[in-house]
Amino acid sequence: MTERSNFGSKLGVVLASAGSAVGLGNVWRFPTEVGNNGGAAFILIYLLCVLAVGVPVMMSEFLIGRHTNANTITAFSKLAPGKWWRIEGVAGVFVAFLILSYYTIISGWTLYYLVQSLKGALLTDQDYSVYFNSFVSEPFTPLLYAIIFMVMTHLVIARGVQSGIERFSKIMMPMLLLIIGILVVCSFGMPGAGTGLRFLLKPDFSKVTASVVLSAMGQAFFSLSLAMGCLCTYASYFTPDTKLVKTAVSVCSIDTFVAVLSGFIIFPAVFSVPNVSPDEGPGLVFVTLPNVFNIAFHSIPVLGYIFSGLFYMLLLLAALTSAMSLHESVTAYVIESWGIPRKKASAMVSASCMTLGVLCSLSFGVLSDFTICGLTIFGLFDFCASKIIMPAGGLIICLFVGWYLDRKLVYNELTNCDTVPFRLFRFYIFLVRYVVPIAIGLIFINELLG
Ligand code: TRP
């Protein structure tokens, strides 16, 4: 087998992993969940979930990946030869593929909206829900944009770990952070900033129910790219001196920071326009925001042009770095287990994923009446991935590290053979053995019943 690549620098490690985590989940899904679940109280619970569940699960994925230096399926087979644990690796690669197929479709929408905002088309008086619905239900245009997006992802992955993933993450992540900074400042200057900030900062605990807690946990999983082998695959490119605990804490902090700042961008803007409500669901970014841009910047269209252009650019960059990680976890498997060279492997993954993506995209239009158990194809993929296989994957990873793996191996991996102190090791083991499995078990039961 050829020599395996590594990330070339510490910064590359953090930016690539943060790139995987920061995605549509932060800028699109998080504000939607905050809006639907009553604001600040949801954010507090979310923070708790990131600390108690997100950080330990991420550390576990990192240690599995770095210890085995292999794609997710091989990683589990190496650590537990001939055992059923391998099924987690198989599920991870399979679901990364599934998620990529519909993630690409939504990412294609963001690319379309970016182009439209640069053409000024999002600053005209029109009903944006009609605009959005007629765009997504049309068969060809959304697919065309999804294909362009997939080609972009493919080109990065085909270049490999250092000159593809690491290099582009180092360019895109700083750009993304810069854009967020600019947009937060702009948003604070909007007339609704006060109301928006109050919504985000003043917790109303009367809105907290079991299902809100469980949504926060599901959101943490999705946003941190957990349980699907993405971070395991990236960790297999970490060098022996990469500090796993520190990296996991940095990645979780960056991801959470971006999610909260996205709230700070979106809610002041949303509240600055009368009769627009923050709990409009998934249309928040594609329907509510164009309305806001149009109304709020009516008298100074140049600002609206810049604001909307930057906003969709932000979404696109975030989506691209996440799609790269989903793509890489499948491609790494194809390269290593089927012995296919990277460029060809990457092309095979892109093409087959896009084929599945066609079905997802058409399920918003031509195929919208085709349902399985009441869900469209897109809905079904999302349901299977985020509501069934993801929580189950997180559960299995924790049980694997907490109960199956040798304690010494886990300790050595997290402390780089006792050279980096990790005082909370026993607490970490307590979390992965008991707290996280029980918490995930609860989400799982709730999702299935609800
Ligand atoms: N975390 C990304 C986001 O916030 C999406 C993502 C990338 C993902 N890789 C993943 C989600 C693996 C689940 C599993 O948009």
* Mean pLDDT (the chain, rounded): 90
- Name 307's Cβ contacts closer than 8 Å, sequence gap at least 6: 183, 186, 293, 297
What is the pLDDT at residue 4? 81
123 CA distance to ligand 1 centroid (A)?
Answer: 31
| CA max distance for the chain | 67
Residue 286 lies in a domain: yes
Mutate to test the pocket of ligand 1, among 53, 62, 222, 320 (most ligand atoms within 8 A of CB): 222
Average pLDDT over residues 123-152: 91
| Residue 322 Cβ < 6 Å to ligand 1 | yes
- 447 in a domain, yes or no? no
Using one digit for the tens of pLDDT, what is the confidence trace for 337-394?
999 999 999 999 999 999 999 998 998 888 888 888 888 888 888 878 877 788 788 8
Is 388 a member of any domain? no
Q: Is the pLDDT of residue 71 over 70?
A: yes
pLDDT score at 281? 62
User: Is residue 26 in contact with ligand 1, taking CB distance under 6 Å?
Assistant: yes
Query: Does 21 contact ligand 1 (Cβ within 6 A)?
Result: yes
Q: Which atom of ligand 1 is nearest to the CA of 20?
A: 7
- How many CA atoms within 13 Å lie on the side-chain side of 84? 2
Confidence category of residue 214, pLDDT binned at 50, 70, 90: confident
Report H helices in 363-389. Answer: 377-382
Strand-pairing partners, residue 372, are 375
Q: Which domain holds residue 44?
A: 10-381
**Mean pLDDT across the stretch 164-186?**
92
Side-chain half-sphere CA neighbours of 215 within 13 A: 23
Spell out the alpha helix ranges (H) of 22-140. Answer: 24, 30-36, 40-49, 55-68, 72-79, 86-118, 128-137
Angle of CA points 271, 313, 217, to nearest 5° = 65
**pLDDT over 80 (residue 2):** no
Rounded average pLDDT over 67-91: 93
The whole-number average pLDDT for the span 315-332 is 96
Give CA separation, 180 vs 70, 114, 146, 291, 312, in Å. 34, 16, 24, 20, 11
The finding on whether 25 has its CB within 6 A of some atom of ligand 1 is: yes
**C-alpha neighbours within 13 Å on the C-beta side of residue 404:** 17
Question: Does position 68 have pLDDT exceeding 90, yes or no?
Answer: yes
Mutate which of 20, 257, 387 for ligand 1 pocket (most atoms within 8 A of beta carbon) = 20
User: Of the candidates 133, 171, 64, which has an alpha carbon nearest to the alpha carbon of residue 286?
Assistant: 133
If one compares 288 and 244, the residue with the highest pLDDT of the two is 244
Q: Average pLDDT, stretch 238-253?
A: 96
CATH number of the domain within which 263 lies? 1.10.4160.10
Mean pLDDT calculated for residue range 144-165: 96
336 pLDDT exceeds 80? yes
Q: Atom 6, ligand 1: which residue's CA is nearest? A: 225
Strand intervals (E) in 142-191: none
Into how many domains does the chain fold? 1
**326 CB near ligand 1 (under 6 Å):** yes
Q: Would you say residue 424 has pLDDT above 50?
A: yes
Would 445 be classed as within a structural domain?
no
In 3D space, the residue among 224, 222, 235 whose CA is nearest the CA of residue 75 turns out to be 235
For a pocket test of ligand 1, which of 217, 226, 230, 262 has the largest count of ligand atoms closer than 8 A to its C-beta?
Answer: 230
Q: Which two tokens stand for residue 353?
A: 């994923």
Where residue 298 falls among pLDDT bands split at 50, 70, 90? confident
Ligand 1 contact, 106 CB (< 6 A): no
Tokens 């994957």 sit at which residue?
A: 393
**pLDDT for residue 3:** 63
- CA separation, residue 348 to residues 5, 71, 130, 361, 396 (Å): 21, 17, 36, 20, 29
Task: Give the Å distance between the CA of 25 and the centre of ligand 1.
Answer: 7
Q: Which of 101, 223, 327 is the best mutation target for the ligand 1 pocket, counting ligand atoms within 8 Å of the beta carbon and taking the most?
A: 223
Q: How far apart are CA 149 and CA 331, in angstroms?
A: 17
DSSP single-letter state for residue 43: H
| Confidence grade of residue 1 (pLDDT, cut at 50, 70, 90) | very low
17 lines ligand 1 (CB under 6 A): no
Decide: 321 in ligand 1 pocket, CB within 6 A: no
- pLDDT at res. 282: 66
Q: What pLDDT is stored for residue 203 in this prediction? A: 85
Residues 6+ apart with CB under 8 A from 230: 20, 96, 325, 326, 328, 329
Dist CA 213 CA 44 (whole Å): 10
Nearby residues of 131 by Cβ (< 8 Å), 6 or more positions away: 287, 290
Does residue 408 belong to any structural domain of this protein? Answer: no
Please tell me the predicted confidence (pLDDT) of residue 279. Answer: 67
| pLDDT category of residue 316 using cuts at 50, 70 and 90 | very high
Asked if pLDDT for residue 105 goes beyond 90, the answer is: yes
C-alpha 53 – ligand 1 centre gap (Å): 16
Hey, which residues does 375 pair with through a beta bridge?
A: 372
For residue 103, being part of any structural domain is answered with yes
Cα–Cα dist 224/222, whole Å: 6
Q: What is the dihedral of CA 382, 217, 24, 14, to 10 degrees?
A: -120
Q: Give bridge partners of residue 350 from the DSSP assignment.
A: none
Q: Give 263-280 pLDDT, tens digit per residue.
A: 988 888 888 776 667 766
Tell whether 414 is covered by a domain.
no
> Which pLDDT score, from 0 to 100, does residue 73 have?
95
Q: What is the pLDDT of residue 212?
A: 82
For residues 251 and 21, is the Cβ–Cβ distance under 8 A?
yes
- Pocket lining: 172 vs ligand 1, CB cutoff 6 Å: no
3-state helix, strand, coil in the chain (%, to 5): 75, 0, 20
Q: Look at residue 125 and tell me if it is in a domain.
A: yes
The average pLDDT across 132-140 equals 90
Residue in 273, 317, 275, 320 with CA at minimum distance from that of residue 292 = 273
Ligand 1 atom closest to the Cα of residue 325 is 9
